[in-house]
C-alpha cells in the first residue's frame, strides 16, 4: 500500500510537517471559469471552506502519483502546493530521487522537499556541509572539475535548493484584476446592477454603477502601483562566483550552496557563506539589532549571514600559526577604498581581487534571514473576536434574508407576480438586507486609525492588531533603552573604602583594569563599542595604541589624558590592526538571540575622528616616557552571557595580569577572598537604581585557559553607572496604572536594580513590599527556596503554603504586595503551584534571557491576558512576535518582529487610545449600517406587500445623500485624550447593547408598519404613492436619529459635545430634512415643477402631521427606550459579575 500522507522533520522550525498526496480534478483555468460563472459563489465556498475546496479541486492519491500536495504545519496551517518536476538527466547522484527521469519537488512556505523514491516520501534535501580544508586545495579542486561535472552539480543544486530568493511572490496585473473581480462584494454589486435595471431603477443603477466602477478601478490601480513599487524594491544584483575555473558575474538568484563566492562590500549579502579566505567586517543589525561592526575571519571559521551589510572586505595574507588564536588579526588598511575590479573573470589564485572569499552554505529561506522571515510568516494567525463576531452576524443576516426572501417569493407568487418579476423583486429585497457593502464597513475604523498612527510616527504592519491594541490589559516593558535612556554615565569607582569620580584618585592597578578590560576597537578612524565600555575607557584617560600584531594602552604621561585618541589613517598602504569582536559561533550560537540583555544593554557608540581634536593629544605613544605605563593586551576572553563576565590578559612589561569585569554575583564566585561589605555595597547601589559592574584581577606568570585564568581573583572595585529614566516613562506608566492596565518589567539586568527602576517609574508603588524567591545552591524542590523582601523597614513573613504576606506579628494577610523573579527561579517554578502565583502577582522579572522573555509572554497570554510587549533590541524579538501586540522602539531590523514601530515610549498610550477609538468606531459604524439595511429592507417589504415601491430618486436620496454621508461622518471622531479605566466591551454586540438595539429596530419597524397601512393598495407595482412618500421621510429621520445615538462612543473617543463638525453635520441633516418635508407639503406646485423625479403625491398637507408624529415616536424609541433598557441590563450584568462578600455569606 503506497502512503497517502507522511510526516517530515524540519530543522530550526516545528518538529514536523505533514504532506498529503493529491491528484487534481480540475485545472486552475477551469477553476477561474467556474468562479466567474457562479458569480463568485464557488470562489467564496473554496475560500472559507478549505476542506471543501480540496475535495472539489483534487482527490487523494499516493505521493508518487501526486501532482499537488497539501502541506500542513504543526500549528495547523495548510498550504495547497503543486508538485514541480525537474529533469534529472540521468545524473548518478540523483538516481535516488528520479522517477521516470523526473525529480519531484514541493516548494512550500514551510520548506523545500524532494521525493525520495527509495523511502517513498518527501524529504528535506541534504544541507551543504562546510569543507574545512586549505583554501588553495579547495580552489584547485574546484578549477580542476570538468564541464560535465560542473553541469551535473549545477543541476543537482538547482533541484535541491531552488533559486536564491527570500521574498514572497509579487502578484502581477492579471492576478490582481482576477482577485478583485472574483471578490464577493464586486460580483454581488454586478448582480445588483442588473436587478436595479430590471425593476426600473435606471438612474439609481447608473449612479451606483459609476461609484462601483470608480471603486474597482481605484482599488486595482492602488494594488498594481503597490505591486510595481514592490518589484522595484526587489534588488537585482550580481555576485562573483567560481564557475568553469573562473570567477564570473551571475545574478544573485542563481547562487547555490557549495558555490565559491566573492564577499564584496554590499548592502544585504545574498546568502549565508563561510569565510574561507580573508577577512570581512559586517553590520549584522538585521539579526541582532546592534550596529556594532562584526569581524569575520577565515581562521575563525566565521559565517557572513544573509541580509547583513558587508562594510569592508579584504583578501589577507594568512597570519603566522602562533597568532591565529589571538584576538588580533592583520589586514590591509580598511579605511581606503577597495580596489576596483572590472566585471568579468579572474584567471588564477594569484590575481584574486582584494576581497574575502567564501563558500555558500545556505540560500533562500534556509538562510538565517530566511528563517526569521519564515517564522514571521508562519506565526499563528490572529483571531480577531470583533471580525469573527461580525462575520457571524453577517451570516445570520444572510440566512434571515434568504429565509424571508423565499417567503416573499411565495407571497409575491400568490399576489400574481410573474416569475421574472418575482425573481427580480426577491433579489432586490435580499441584497437590500444582505448588503454587499456591510463587510467593507468592518475595517473602516482600522483604516482610519492606521492613517492617524502614521501621523503620530507609529507604523503598523498588521491592521488586525489595531483592535487588539485597544483591549490590552497587560503591558510588559523592557528596561534598558525602553524605560530608561540608551546611554549610561559613569558615576564613580568604589573600592569599598570610598567612592571616587576622579581618575587621578584611583589606584594604578584599578586604572590599568579600567583601561584594558573592554572590547573597544577602531574602524575607519573611529572607536566603536558598547557605551559601557567606551564610558569606562574614556574615564580611564588612556589611549589605545596599535602596533603590529598587538594592541596596547598607554596610561599617564607628562600631560594629563582626558580621553581616547582617535587615529586617522591617510596612507592607503599602511597596515592597521583591528580587534576581533566575536569568535566563531559566539554571536550566533543561538539564532533566536539568546544573547543576554546585559550583553546588549547599551547600544553601540561610534566616536568620530573630529572628537579627538579636543583632547589635544599626539598620535605618538612614546614608550618609556616618564610616568607612562604601556600595557599590552595579550588575550581577550569575550563576554559570556552564561557566566556574565569578560576578561583580558595584560602585560605591562614587568608583570602579567588577568583583569575580569562582570556582574557582582559572577565576580563574587571567582574571588579568592570576599571583601567585607561587598554584597551590601553592591546591593545598596542596585537598590538605588544604578548599574553595577565589579572589577577583579590577579597576577599570573603565564596564561592558561579561561577557567584557570578566571580563578582565585582579587577584588579591585565596583564600577557604578547611572541610567536615567526616559522623560515620558513615568507619565506613561502612571496613565496605564490609572487605566487599570497591569504593568510589568522584564529585563536582563540585576533584580535589585530592576526593582529600584520599577519603583522609580511607578510599575511598583513606592511603599508596596516586593518579595522575590532565591534558590539555594543545590535546590531540588520548591521548599529549598528562600523568599526575600524589599519594602519599608517593617519585617514581613511570607507563608509559602497560603502564598500570603504578613506584616510583623499581624496575622491578617496583606495582599498589597508584588513579586519579583529572576530567570533561574522562573524556570525552576514551572509546573508548580508557584508558577501561577508568580504570573498573577509578578511585576518585575529580572535576569531574563530572550527565550525566557518569550516564555513569559506566552504564559501570560495562555492565562487569558491580552498582552503588549514594548522593547527596543533584537533580543526582544521573540517576545515582540509572541505578544498580542508588539511595539518596537526604534527602526532597527528587530522591528520586523513587531506589529508596531515607533521611537517614543509614550506611543504606548497613543496606540491604546487609537486602538480603542478604532474599535468603538468600527462597532458604531457596523451597527449603523446593519440598522440601515434592516430599516430599508422592512420599508421595501411593507411596500411590496401593498404593491408599492420607492421611486428611483427617493432611493438615490436615501443612499447617497443620507446613509453614506452619515456612515462617513460617524468615523470623524478623534481618540480620547485619556485612557478610561475600563476597556471597550470585548463583544461586538453584548447583551446590554444587543437587546436594546434589536428592540429599537423592532419599534421603528412597528412605526413603519403602521404607516404602511395608510392609503389604499395599488392594483400593480407603483413607485408613486402616499405610503411610499411617508415611509421615505420617516425612514430618513430614523437613519439620522440612529446615527446620532450611535455616535456617542465616549469615553473611548471624542465625545459628541466636543465634535463640532459632527454636530454641525447632523443639525444640517435634520433641518434640511424638515425643510424638504415642509416644501413638499406646503408648496406642492413648486415640488411638482422641480422635484418631479421623486414621484411625490399631491395632498392637502395632513400627512405632514403623520410624519412628525412618527418621527417623535422614533425619537422616544431611540433616545429614551434604548438607553433605559441598556442601563437596566447593564446594571443587572454588573450585579451578576460582582461576587458576594465573605461576611455576607451565612
* Nearest one of 453, 482, 455 to 466, comparing CA atoms: 453
Quick one: 278 exposed, middle or buried, by C-beta within 10 A (0-12, 13-18, 19+)? buried
Quick one: 1080 exposed, middle or buried, by C-beta within 10 A (0-12, 13-18, 19+)? buried
233: its cell numbers: 524594491
Q: What SS3 class is residue 372?
A: helix
pLDDT in tens, 83-142: 899 988 888 888 888 888 889 998 887 678 898 888 888 888 887 666 656 777 777 888
Beta-ladder partners of 871: 888
Q: What SS3 class is residue 362?
A: strand
- Nearest-angstrom CA–CA distance, 525 and 463: 45
Query: Does residue 523 have a pLDDT over 70?
Result: no
Confidence of residue 1035 (pLDDT cuts 50, 70, 90): very high
- Nearest-angstrom CA–CA distance, 563 and 235: 43
Higher confidence at residue 601 or residue 278?
Answer: 278
Query: Does residue 154 have a pLDDT over 80?
Result: yes
Neighbouring CB atoms inside 10 A of 813's CB total: 14
- Nearest-angstrom CA–CA distance, 739 and 733: 10
Confidence of residue 834 (pLDDT cuts 50, 70, 90): confident
768: its cell numbers: 508596596
**Which residue is it, cell 597596515?**
575
First to last CA, the chain: 69
Higher confidence at residue 585 or residue 186?
Answer: 186
Confidence of residue 1129 (pLDDT cuts 50, 70, 90): confident
- Nearest-angstrom CA–CA distance, 172 and 727: 48
pLDDT at position 12: 42
Q: What is the mean pLDDT of the chain?
A: 78
CB distance 478 to 751 below 8 Å: no
Segment (H or E) for 694: strand 691-700
Query: Does residue 475 have a pLDDT over 90?
Result: yes
CB distance 826 to 838 below 8 Å: yes
HEC string for 242-289: EECCEEEEEEHHHCCCCCEEEECCECCCCCEEEEEECEEEEECHHHHC
pLDDT at position 14: 42
Task: Report phi then psi at 94, rounded to 5.
Answer: -105, 5
Most confident of 203-212, 541-550, 620-629: 203-212
Residue percentage of the chain with pLDDT more than 90: 17
pLDDT in tens, 973-1011: 999 888 988 888 767 777 788 888 999 999 999 999 999
List own/partner pairs for 1050-1053 with CB under 8 A and 24 or more apart.
1050/976, 1051/976, 1051/978, 1051/980, 1052/470, 1052/916, 1052/917, 1052/919, 1052/920, 1052/975, 1052/976, 1052/980, 1052/983, 1052/984, 1053/916, 1053/917, 1053/920, 1053/921, 1053/973, 1053/974, 1053/975, 1053/976
**Which residue is it, cell 492613517?**
451
- Nearest-angstrom CA–CA distance, 718 and 727: 28
- Nearest-angstrom CA–CA distance, 948 and 1027: 8
Those residues with Cβ within 8 angstroms of residue 327's Cβ, 6 or more apart along the chain or in another chain: 579, 580, 583, 635, 636
Quick one: 664 exposed, middle or buried, by C-beta within 10 A (0-12, 13-18, 19+)? buried
- Nearest-angstrom CA–CA distance, 591 and 368: 7
pLDDT at position 521: 67
pLDDT in tens, 599-609: 433 333 334 43
pLDDT at position 246: 82
pLDDT at position 243: 83
CB distance 280 to 287 below 8 Å: no
CB distance 572 to 501 below 8 Å: no
- Nearest-angstrom CA–CA distance, 947 and 356: 86
* Nearest one of 960, 962, 937, 963 to 950, comparing CA atoms: 937
Confidence of residue 714 (pLDDT cuts 50, 70, 90): very high
Residues in the chain, total: 1146
Quick one: 569 exposed, middle or buried, by C-beta within 10 A (0-12, 13-18, 19+)? middle
Beta-ladder partners of 102: 87, 99
- CA triple 319-290-535, angle to 5 deg: 85
Q: What number is the average pLDDT over the span 647-665?
A: 90
- Nearest-angstrom CA–CA distance, 62 and 75: 24
Most confident of 831-835, 843-847, 1014-1018: 843-847
Task: Report phi then psi at 815, rounded to 5.
Answer: -85, -5
Among 3-17, 67-81, 395-409, the minimum mean pLDDT is found in 3-17
- CA of 617: how far to CAs of 543, 564, 625, in Å? 9, 9, 15
474-484+725-903: what fold? Answer: Rossmann fold (3.40.50)
Higher confidence at residue 187 or residue 1053?
Answer: 1053
pLDDT at position 889: 85
pLDDT at position 1136: 45
Secondary structure (DSSP) of 1040-1062: HHHHHHHT--TTSB--GGG-HHH
pLDDT at position 969: 92
- CA triple 429-432-438, angle to 5 deg: 150
Alpha-carbon 645 to chain mean position: 32
Query: Does residue 252 have a pLDDT over 50?
Result: yes
Confidence of residue 844 (pLDDT cuts 50, 70, 90): very high
Among 304-318, 422-436, 922-936, 1035-1049, the minimum mean pLDDT is found in 304-318
CB distance 597 to 853 below 8 Å: no
Neighbouring CB atoms inside 10 A of 570's CB total: 9
Neighbouring CB atoms inside 10 A of 95's CB total: 11
Query: Does residue 76 have a pLDDT over 60?
Result: yes
* Inter-helix orientation angle 419-433/184-198, to 10°: 140
- Nearest-angstrom CA–CA distance, 540 and 213: 72
pLDDT in tens, 118-129: 888 888 888 766
830: its cell numbers: 514551572
| CATH class of domain segment(s) 238-377 | mainly beta
- Nearest-angstrom CA–CA distance, 1086 and 764: 73
* Integer-rounded Cα radius of gyration of the chain: 37
pLDDT at position 1134: 44
pLDDT at position 867: 93
Confidence of residue 318 (pLDDT cuts 50, 70, 90): very low
pLDDT at position 491: 87
- CA of 839: how far to CAs of 834, 861, 867, in Å? 9, 10, 13
Among 50-64, 575-589, 624-638, 886-900, the minimum mean pLDDT is found in 575-589
CB distance 527 to 521 below 8 Å: yes
* Nearest one of 602, 589, 529, 636 to 287, comparing CA atoms: 589
Secondary structure (DSSP) of 733-777: HHHHHHTT-EEEEE-SS-HHHHHHHHHHTTSS-TTS-EEEEEE-T
Query: Does residue 326 have a pLDDT over 60?
Result: no
Q: What number is the average pLDDT over the span 257-263?
A: 89
Q: What number is the average pLDDT over the span 148-156?
A: 87
- CA of 1038: how far to CAs of 175, 771, 1061, 1073, in Å? 43, 59, 21, 11
- Nearest-angstrom CA–CA distance, 563 and 312: 27
Amino acid at each position: 500500500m503506497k502512503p497517502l500522507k507522511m510526516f517530515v522533520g524540519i530543522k530550526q522550525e516545528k518538529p514536523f510537517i505533514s504532506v498529503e498526496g493529491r491528484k487534481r480534478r480540475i485545472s486552475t483555468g477551469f477553476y477561474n471559469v467556474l468562479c466567474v460563472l457562479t458569480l463568485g459563489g464557488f470562489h467564496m465556498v473554496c475560500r472559507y471552506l478549505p476542506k471543501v475546496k480540496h475535495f472539489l479541486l483534487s482527490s487523494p492519491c499516493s505521493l508518487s502519483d501526486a501532482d499537488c500536495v497539501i502541506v500542513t504545519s504543526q500549528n495547523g496551517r495548510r498550504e495547497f502546493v503543486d508538485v514541480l518536476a525537474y529533469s534529472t538527466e540521468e545524473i548518478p547522484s540523483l538516481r535516488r530521487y528520479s522517477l521516470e527521469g523526473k525529480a519531484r519537488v514541493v516548494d512550500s512556505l514551510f520548506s523545500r522537499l524532494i521525493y525520495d523514491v527509495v523511502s517513498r516520501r518527501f524529504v528535506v534535501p541534504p544541507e551543504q556541509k562546510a569543507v574545512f580544508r586549505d583554501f588553495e586545495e579547495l580552489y584547485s579542486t574546484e578549477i580542476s572539475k570538468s564541464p560535465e561535472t560542473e553541469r551535473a552539480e549545477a543541476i543537482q543544486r538547482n533541484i535541491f535548493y531552488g533559486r536564491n530568493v527570500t521574498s514572497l511572490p509579487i502578484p502581477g496585473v492579471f492576478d490582481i484584476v482576477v482577485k478583485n473581480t472574483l471578490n464577493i462584494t464586486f460580483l454581488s454589486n454586478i448582480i445588483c446592477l442588473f436587478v436595479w435595471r430590471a425593476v426600473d431603477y435606471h438612474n439609481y443603477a447608473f449612479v451606483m454603477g459609476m461609484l462601483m466602477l470608480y471603486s474597482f478601478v481605484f482599488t486595482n490601480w492602488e494594488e498594481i502601483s503597490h505591486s510595481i513599487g514592490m518589484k522595484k524594491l526587489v534588488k537585482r544584483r550580481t555576485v562573483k562566483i567560481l564557475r568553469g575555473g573562473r570567477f564570473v558575474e551571475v545574478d544573485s538568484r542563481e547562487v547555490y550552496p557549495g558555490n565559491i563566492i566573492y564577499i564584496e562590500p554590499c548592502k544585504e549579502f545574498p546568502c549565508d557563506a563561510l569565510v574561507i579566505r580573508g577577512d570581512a567586517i559586517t553590520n549584522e543589525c538585521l539579526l541582532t539589532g546592534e550596529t556594532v561592526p562584526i569581524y569575520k575571519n577565515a581562521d575563525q571559521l566565521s559565517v557572513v549571514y544573509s541580509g547583513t551589510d558587508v562594510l569592508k572586505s579584504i583578501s589577507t595574507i594568512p597570519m603566522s600559526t602562533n597568532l591565529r588564536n589571538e584576538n588580533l588579526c592583520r589586514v590591509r588598511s580598511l579605511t581606503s577604498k577597495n580596489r576596483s575590479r572590472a566585471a568579468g573573470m579572474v584567471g588564477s589564485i594569484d590575481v584574486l581581487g582584494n576581497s574575502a572569499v567564501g563558500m555558500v552554505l545556505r540560500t533562500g529561506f534556509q538562510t538565517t534571514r530566511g528563517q526569521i522571515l519564515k517564522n514571521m510568516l508562519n506565526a499563528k494567525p490572529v483571531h480577531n473576536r470583533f471580525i469573527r463576531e461580525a462575520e457571524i452576524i453577517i451570516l445570520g443576516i444572510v440566512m434571515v434574508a434568504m429565509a424571508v426572501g423565499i417567503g416573499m417569493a411565495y407571497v409575491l407568487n400568490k399576489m400574481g407576480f410573474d416569475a421574472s418579476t418575482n425573481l427580480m423583486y426577491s433579489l432586490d429585497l435580499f441584497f437590500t438586507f444582505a448588503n454587499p457593502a456591510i463587510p467593507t464597513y468592518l475595517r473602516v475604523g482600522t483604516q482610519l486609525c492606521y492613517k492617524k498612527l502614521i501621523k503620530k510616527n507609529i507604523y503598523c504592519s498588521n491592521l488586525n492588531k489595531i483592535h487588539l491594541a485597544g483591549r490590552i490589559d497587560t503591558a510588559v516593558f523592557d528596561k534598558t533603552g525602553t524605560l530608561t535612556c540608551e546611554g549610561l554615565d559613569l558615576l564613580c569607582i568604589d573600592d569599598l573604602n570610598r567612592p571616587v569620580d576622579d581618575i587621578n584618585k584611583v589606584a594604578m592597578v584599578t586604572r590599568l583594569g579600567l583601561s584594558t578590560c573592554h572590547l573597544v576597537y577602531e574602524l575607519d578612524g573611529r572607536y566603536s563599542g558598547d557605551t559601557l565600555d567606551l564610558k569606562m575607557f574614556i574615564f580611564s584617560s588612556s589611549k589605545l595604541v596599535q602596533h603590529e600584531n598587538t594592541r596596547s594602552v598607554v596610561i599617564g604621561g607628562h600631560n594629563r589624558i582626558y580621553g581616547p585618541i582617535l587615529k586617522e589613517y591617510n596612507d592607503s598602504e599602511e597596515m592597521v590592526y583591528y580587534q576581533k569582536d566575536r569568535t566563531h559561533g559566539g554571536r550566533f550560537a543561538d539564532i533566536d538571540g539568546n544573547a543576554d540583555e546585559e550583553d546588549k544593554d547599551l547600544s553601540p557608540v561610534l566616536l568620530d575622528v573630529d572628537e579627538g581634536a579636543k583632547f589635544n593629544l599626539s598620535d605618538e605613544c612614546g614608550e618609556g616616557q616618564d610616568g607612562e605605563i604601556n600595557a599590552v593586551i595579550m588575550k581577550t576572553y569575550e563576554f559570556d552571557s552564561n557566566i556574565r563576565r569578560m576578561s583580558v590578559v595584560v602585560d605591562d612589561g614587568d608583570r602579567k595580569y588577568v583583569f575580569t569585569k562582570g556582574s557582582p554575583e559572577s565576580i563574587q564566585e571567582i574571588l579568592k577572598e570576599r571583601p567585607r561589605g561587598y554584597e551590601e555595597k553592591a546591593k545598596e547601589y542596585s537598590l538605588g537604581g544604578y548599574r553595577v559592574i565589579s572589577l577583579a584581577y590577579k597576577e599570573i606568570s603565564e596564561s592558561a585557559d579561561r577557567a584557570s585564568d578566571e580563578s582565585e581573583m582579587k577584588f579591585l572595585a565596583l564600577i557604578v553607572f547611572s541610567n536615567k529614566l526616559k522623560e515620558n516613562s513615568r507619565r506613561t506608566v502612571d496613565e496605564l496604572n490609572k487605566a487599570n492596565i497591569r504593568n510589568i518589567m522584564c529585563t536582563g539586568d540585576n533584580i535589585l536594580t530592576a526593582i529600584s527602576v520599577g519603583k522609580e517609574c511607578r510599575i511598583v508603588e513606592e511603599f508596596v513590599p516586593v518579595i522575590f524567591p532565591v534558590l539555594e545552591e543545590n535546590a531540588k524542590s520548591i521548599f529549598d527556596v528562600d523568599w526575600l523582601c524589599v519594602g519599608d523597614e517593617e519585617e514581613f513573613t511570607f507563608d509559602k503554603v497560603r502564598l500570603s504576606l504578613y506584616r510583623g506579628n499581624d496575622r491578617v494577610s496583606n495582599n498589597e504586595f508584588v513579586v519579583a523573579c529572576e530567570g533561574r527561579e522562573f524556570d525552576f517554578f514551572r509546573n508548580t503551584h508557584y508558577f501561577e502565583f508568580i504570573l498573577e502577582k509578578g511585576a518585575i522579572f529580572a535576569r531574563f534571557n530572550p527565550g525566557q522573555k518569550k516564555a513569559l509572554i506566552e504564559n501570560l497570554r495562555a492565562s487569558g491576558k491580552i498582552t503588549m510587549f514594548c522593547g527596543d533590541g533584537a533580543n526582544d524579538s521573540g517576545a515582540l512576535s509572541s505578544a498580542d501586540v508588539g511595539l518596537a522602539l526604534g527602526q532597527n531590523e528587530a522591528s520586523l518582529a513587531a506589529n508596531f514601530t515607533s521611537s517614543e515610549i509614550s506611543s504606548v498610550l497613543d496606540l491604546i487610545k487609537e486602538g480603542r477609538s478604532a474599535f468603538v468606531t468600527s462597532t458604531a459604524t457596523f451597527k449603523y449600517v446593519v440598522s440601515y439595511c434592516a430599516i430599508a429592507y422592512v420599508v421595501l417589504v411593507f411596500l411590496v406587500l401593498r404593491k408599492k415601491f420607492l421611486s428611483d430618486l427617493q432611493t438615490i436620496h436615501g443612499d447617497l445623500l443620507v446613509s453614506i454621508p452619515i456612515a462617513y461622518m460617524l468615523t470623524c471622531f478623534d481618540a480620547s485624550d485619556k485612557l478610561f479605566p475600563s476597556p471597550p466591551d470585548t463583544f461586538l454586540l453584548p447583551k446590554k447593547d444587543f437587546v436594546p438595539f434589536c428592540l429599537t429596530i423592532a419599534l421603528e419597524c412597528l412605526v413603519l408598519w403602521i404607516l404602511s397601512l395608510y392609503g389604499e393598495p395599488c392594483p400593480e407595482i407603483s413607485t408613486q404613492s402616499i405610503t411610499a412618500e411617508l415611509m421615505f421621510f420617516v425612514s430618513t429621520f430614523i437613519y439620522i436619529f440612529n446615527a446620532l445615538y450611535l455616535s456617542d462612543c465616549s469615553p473611548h473617543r471624542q465625545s459628541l459635545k466636543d465634535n463640532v463638525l459632527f454636530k454641525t453635520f447632523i443639525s444640517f441633516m435634520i433641518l434640511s430634512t424638515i425643510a424638504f418635508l415642509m416644501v413638499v407639503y406646503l408648496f406642492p406646485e413648486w415640488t411638482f415643477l422641480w422635484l418631479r423625479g421623486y414621484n411625490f403625491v399631491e395632498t392637502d398637507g395632513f400627512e405632514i402631521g403623520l410624519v412628525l408624529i412618527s418621527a417623535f415616536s422614533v425619537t422616544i424609541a431611540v433616545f429614551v427606550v434604548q438607553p433605559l433598557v441598556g442601563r437596566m441590563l447593564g446594571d443587572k450584568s454588573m450585579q451578576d459579575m460582582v461576587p458576594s462578600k465573605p461576611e455576607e455569606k451565612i
